[in-house]
Structure 1
């Protein structure tokens, strides 16, 4: 799981770097690039929240100490709602469609990273 997550994080950071370069050198695309960057940051945080949740569930299933469970899905939805509120509040800086698309990117990156890491095992 750690190898897959590290690969996904590296590719997400690369995408964030591309968004920064687009923001710096293409003035017509600034709102879209900044919206995508905001969404990618939320997607990054949601991936780590989901990873923490999976680790907590596997620890509990293995008979480990029972820790108090958090909000889970609620915190990830709240993160996306926060991105939507920021993009709605500042439409001159952030593109709402780009921000929402950026929020949905990390699961697909994780899927591709898992496929790449597991294709040799088949």
Structure 2
């Protein structure tokens, strides 16, 4: 899981770097690139929250740690809601569709990274 997450985070940083380059060199695409950047940041945070939650559940199921209750899905939804609120509040800075699309990118990157790692192992 750690190798898959490391690969996915590296790919996400490359995507964020592309967004920064687009923001710097294409002024007419600035709102879209900042919206994507905001969504990608939230998407990475959600991936780390989900990873932490999965580790807590597996440790609790194995009997190695206490069963912890938390917000789980609520914290990930709140992150996306915060992105939507920022994009709605500052439409001159962030594009709402780009920000929401950026929030949904990390699961697909994780899926591609898992596929690549499984192909390498077999």
TM-score (normalizing by structure 2): 0.97
Task: Name the residue aligned to 1:8.
Answer: 8
Gaps of 5+ in 1: none
Structure 1 residue 70, shift from structure 2 partner: 1.3
For 2:52 and 2:83, the matched residues in 1 are separated by: 21
Task: Name the residue aligned to 2:93.
Answer: 93
Structure 1 residue 119, shift from structure 2 partner: 1.2
**Residue aligned with 1:109, SS:** helix
Deviations 1:91-113 (A, max 9, x none): 00000000000000000000000
Q: Which shifted more, 58-67 or 25-34?
A: 58-67
Runs of 4+ more than 6 Å apart: none
Structure 1 residue 120, shift from structure 2 partner: 3.3
Structure 1 residue 61, shift from structure 2 partner: 1.0
Deviations 1:72-103 (A, max 9, x none): 00000000000000000000000000000000
TM-score (normalizing by structure 1): 0.97
Deviations 1:2-42 (A, max 9, x none): 00000000000000000000001100000000000000000
Q: How many residues align?
A: 122
